[in-house]
Amino acid sequence: MRRQDETRTGLVRRARKIDRVLAVTYPDAKAELDFDNSYQCLVVTVLSAQTTDKRVNAVRPTLFAAYPDARAMAAADRTVLEGIIGPLGFFRAKTDSLLRLSAALVEEYGGEVPASLDALVKLPGVGRKTANVVLGNAFGLPGITVDTHFGRLSRRLGFTDETDPVKVEHAVGALFEKRDWTMLSHHLIWHGRRCCHAKKPACGACVVAKLCPSFGEGPTDPEVAAKLLRDEGPN
Q: Which domains does the chain have, with CATH numbers?
A: 8-29+144-226 (1.10.1670.10), 38-138 (1.10.340.30)
Catalytic residue chosen out of the listed positions 19, 53, 94, 129: 129
Is residue 129 part of the annotated active site? The answer reads yes
Q: Which tens digit of pLDDT belongs to each residue from 173-222?
A: 999 999 999 999 999 999 999 999 999 999 999 999 999 999 999 999 99
Give dist(CA 179, CA 156) in Å, integer.
23
Residue 217's Cβ-count burial label (10 Å; 0-12, 13-18, 19+) is middle
pLDDT band, very low/low/confident/very high, at 5 (cuts 50, 70, 90): confident
- Judge whether residue 235 has pLDDT over 60: no
Q: Which tens digit of pLDDT belongs to each residue from 69-101?
A: 999 999 999 999 999 999 999 999 999 999 999
* Mean pLDDT score, 127-131: 95
Catalytic residue chosen out of the listed positions 147, 167, 180, 200: 147
Is residue 178 part of the annotated active site? The answer reads no
